[in-house]
């Protein structure tokens, strides 16, 4: 499909720079099939679900993936900004660096400074491979838990570029950019639909007889990238690691067999569930990478309802929601949201989508 079909104009003032407080006070646009729109709040979510429905949340935890260092070992020591994007093994990470032209294969980047924490006060990484668009493979001098501790101490949580370009990260973001479900380290971006949840909302859902299930997808930085090609078939999707336990798969399949619906909390949960679903819709246990790219025409097998934030123009995520509810439906919904003052992106409001077709 043509990428420009997924474009729309978004005024800059619609981009949220801080989350709603409390989190479940964010606005919720309910989008039913046929573009029937309802303006609500996230705290109203239980009213739109039925006993026996099963929520699926992503319990990944955002790591301190933003690192600032300098190249060492040559005459000059230029500053190097680094964003970790995917762990390869105990000591190696894929990363994005700026300015990439200052680094070559074999160079060493030093993060931190002497006299600080982190055992020796700093953390070194060798550029093992160099790819395109600032992508590198870094081999760190520490391994395993020692490396994790060093990254946590020296790094900072990465904010999406559309927030970081407007203001500097601060101490509030360390808490604001984690969901209440965050337990498994590995994401470099938050599963933002989960940011709307509070203990009170979870209690209300359970009291209505709605289940809550945890899966893990370590969200990568590619989630922020717009599609730059003219045709969606030419876009290369980033891959992310995810896992669904046998127990969760069994719970979801049993619920659907009794008429319950699977409610994905966020596009990350949806992508993982669809990656694990067989042709007949049965959800299988899963532990692997997924690079599933969902565009209109995709046949959904595992997910019936989707709670998600408002996404960027021309992004893979807007393509996904357009596949789920219909492109024209989503264009009308987004036009309503913009005109009605809904807040967009990671710290913004949410929409509740029911499967439908144009």
The pLDDT assigned to 297 comes to 94
Domain-located, residue 168? no
The mean per-residue pLDDT over the stretch 154-175 comes to 84
Query: What whole-number percentage of the chain has pLDDT above 70?
Result: 96
| 159-165 CB contacts, 8 Å cutoff, 24+ apart | 159/346, 160/189, 160/224, 160/345, 160/346, 161/224, 162/15, 162/224, 162/312, 162/345, 163/15, 163/17, 163/345, 163/346, 163/347
- Domain containing 110 equals 66-154
Q: Which of 88, 119, 154 corresponds to the end of one domain? A: 154
Domain-located, residue 167? no
The pLDDT assigned to 117 comes to 45
The pLDDT assigned to 228 comes to 85
**CATH classification at residue 333:** 3.40.1780.10
Residues 244 and 273 in one domain: yes
Residues 33 and 70 in one domain: no
From residue 130, alpha-carbon distances to 26, 79, 98, 228, 347 in Å are 42, 17, 12, 21, 33
Using pLDDT thresholds of 50, 70 and 90, give the confidence band for residue 357: low
Domain-located, residue 117? yes
Residues 179 and 43 in one domain: yes
Helices 316-325 + 327-339 axis angle, to 10: 110
The pLDDT assigned to 162 comes to 82
Domain-located, residue 259? yes
Using pLDDT thresholds of 50, 70 and 90, give the confidence band for residue 358: very low
pLDDT tens sequence across 315-340: 999 999 999 999 999 999 999 999 99
CB atoms within 10 A of CB 130: 16
The pLDDT assigned to 113 comes to 66
Nearest Cα residue to 351 out of 330, 328, 323: 330
pLDDT tens sequence across 245-297: 999 999 999 999 999 999 999 999 999 999 999 999 999 999 999 999 999 99
The pLDDT assigned to 224 comes to 63
Domain-located, residue 221? yes
Domain-located, residue 332? yes
What pTM was estimated for this model as a whole? 0.90
pLDDT tens sequence across 58-101: 999 999 888 999 999 999 999 999 999 888 999 999 999 999 99
**CATH classification at residue 97:** 2.40.10.240
């Amino acid at each position: 499909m043509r990428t420009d079909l997924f474009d729309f104009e978004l005024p800059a003032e619609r981009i949220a720079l801080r989350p709603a407080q409390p989190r479940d006070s964010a606005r919720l646009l309910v989008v039913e099939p046929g573009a029937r729109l309802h303006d609500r709040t996230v705290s109203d979510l239980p009213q739109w679900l039925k006993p026996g429905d099963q929520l699926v949340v992503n319990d990944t935890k955002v790591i301190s993936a933003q690192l600032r260092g300098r190249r060492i070992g040559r005459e000059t020591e230029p500053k190097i900004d680094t964003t970790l994007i995917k762990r390869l093994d105990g000591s190696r990470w894929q990363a994005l660096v700026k300015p990439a032209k200052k680094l070559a294969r074999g160079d060493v980047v030093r993060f931190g400074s002497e006299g600080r924490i982190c055992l020796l006060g700093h953390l070194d990484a060798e550029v093992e491979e160099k790819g395109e668009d600032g992508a590198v493979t870094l081999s760190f001098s520490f391994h395993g838990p020692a490396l994790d501790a060093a990254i946590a101490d020296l790094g900072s949580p990465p904010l999406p570029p559309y927030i970081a370009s407007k203001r500097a990260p601060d101490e509030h973001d360390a808490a604001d950019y984690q969901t209440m479900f965050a337990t498994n380290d590995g994401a470099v971006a938050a599963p933002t639909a989960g940011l709307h949840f509070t203990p009170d909302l979870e209690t209300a859902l359970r009291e209505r007889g709605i289940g809550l299930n945890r899966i893990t997808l370590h969200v990568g930085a590619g989630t922020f990238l717009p599609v730059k090609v003219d045709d969606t078939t030419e876009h290369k999707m980033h891959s992310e690691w995810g896992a669904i336990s046998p127990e969760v798969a069994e719970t979801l399949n049993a619920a659907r067999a009794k008429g319950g619906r699977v409610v994905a909390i966020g596009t990350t949960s949806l992508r993982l569930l669809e990656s694990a679903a067989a042709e007949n819709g049965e959800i299988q246990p899963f532990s692997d990478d997924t690079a599933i790219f969902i565009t209109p025409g995709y046949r959904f097998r595992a997910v019936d309802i989707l709670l998600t934030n408002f996404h960027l123009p021309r992004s893979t995520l807007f393509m996904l929601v357009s596949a789920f509810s219909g492109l024209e439906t989503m264009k009308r919904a987004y036009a309503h949201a913009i005109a009605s003052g809904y807040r967009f992106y990671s710290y913004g409001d949410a929409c509740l989508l029911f499967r439908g077709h144009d």
